[in-house]
Amino acid sequence: MSKLDINKIRSDFPIFADKSLVYLDSAATTQKPKQVIDAVSDFYSNYYANVHRGIYDLSIKATEAYHSARKKVANFINASDWRSIVFTSGTTESINLVAYSWARKNLHKGDEILITEMEHHSNIVPWQLVAEETGVTLKYIPINTDGTLDLSNIGELITNKTKLVSVIHQSNVFGTINPIKEIIVKAKSVNALTFIDAAQSIPHSPINVQDWDCDFLAFSGHKMLGPTGIGVLYGKTELLDSMTPFMGGGDMINSVTMAKSTWNDIPYKFEAGTPKIAQAIGLGAAIDYINEIGLANIHEYGKHLLIIALEKLRTVDGLTIYGHKVGESCSVISFNLEGVHPHDLAQFLDQDGIAVRAGHHCAQPIMDKLGVSSTIRASFYLYNTEKEINKLRDSLKKTVSFFSKL
């Protein structure tokens, strides 16, 4: 039995007033509960002002709400210090920030960065750019076609030359949950820094940065019920302190003269320009919402939905499901239907009100490995139901039947 009151949860999301919508694209972005929408609207309507700059009541209120959001994020991932939390525009910016402010400044020809073939493009391209500019070698932990990492040669891939290991926690294509702690321990044995891309796992699984002892971690607000335009870079304070700014201007300065500038303390040193105040307040409200329901309950419900979905989809003739054969995975299922292009299939499903993603999911190396150009991806979150999974199965079967008659 689920500990979640799904009817109550669905009633919190204004978009589900449209009863015909079956939203199965939460891995791309989640829908928003009214608690988040209201928190953003309340800020704009009742205490909107810039932060840190004004000595007037509204600005003090806005600054407090902004700071409170940062503390909520720190607690959510069990960071010991709120100064470890840098607000960015999303996971992509968080990774690029470290690529610019740490990797370009500290790495040289002969050094190695290790990532995996399972990464989202956001955790590939920034390191390719670093490699091009610095002569650093970029290496990849291979994947198996069953959607898991092939860690059999990890001892050879992580060497004294390895300076950074940057790994996706949960695959946005397969749903696979990677053995992050094991990889971090291996990286530490050669004193390499570690960066965890938690964009997919953050809405589903409790994350404890102190337990992992990772150096950096990134995620996006919009994938965890929060607004777009806000993300997080967690970094150990001593590392963030040692790094130079990513962008200049606004609150990131301590003083500016014609001759030179000095930098603000962390995390502000990395938050140039007017901060993402409304977005951070919205993210704080999203964290409150998740905490109220309980991340452990959400995780359990996700596992329950995944088991049901796999069982039902496996009854569809000609359907190939990628991954989910061994190990732990989460509620993301990528598949293809024999003889039907994924984009056509997505349009067929859309006619039944079912929203799924079709494409390469910003993970072209995975598509290459699978020997396909794209897949359909159905992904579930706390507002989805077994009834919706039945609709997906039925719509797929209808498509199979349609094509068999051609």
User: Which spans of this chain sit near ligand PLP (rule: CB under 6 A)?
Assistant: 90-92, 120, 122-123, 168, 172, 197, 199-200, 220, 362
Q: How far separated are the first and last CA of the chain, in Å rounded?
A: 43
Q: Compute how many other C-beta atoms are within 10 angstroms of the C-beta atom of residue 123.
A: 25
Q: Is position 362 annotated as part of the catalytic site?
A: yes
Smallest gap from Cβ 97 to ligand PLP, in A, equals: 12
Q: Compute how many other C-beta atoms are within 10 angstroms of the C-beta atom of residue 340.
A: 19
Q: How many whole angstroms separate alpha carbon 121 and alpha carbon 2?
A: 35
Would you say 176 and 147 are in contact if contact means Cβ atoms under 8 Å apart? yes
Per the residue annotation, which of 6, 247, 310, 362 is the catalytic one?
362
Torsion angle defined by CA atoms of residues 76, 77, 78 and 82, in that order, rounded to the nearest 10 degrees: -80
Smallest gap from Cβ 125 to ligand PLP, in A, equals: 11
Which of 73-101 are b and which e, b meaning 16 or more Cβ less than 10 Å from the residue's Cβ?
bbebbebeebbbbbbbbbbbbbbbbbbbb
Q: Which helix (H) or strand (E) holds 321?
A: strand 319-322
Structure tokens at 267: 């995390």
Smallest gap from Cβ 19 to ligand PLP, in A, equals: 28
Smallest gap from Cβ 235 to ligand PLP, in A, equals: 17
Would you say 8 and 243 are in contact if contact means Cβ atoms under 8 Å apart? no
Length of the chain: 406
Smallest gap from Cβ 9 to ligand PLP, in A, equals: 23
Which residue numbers are catalytic?
362
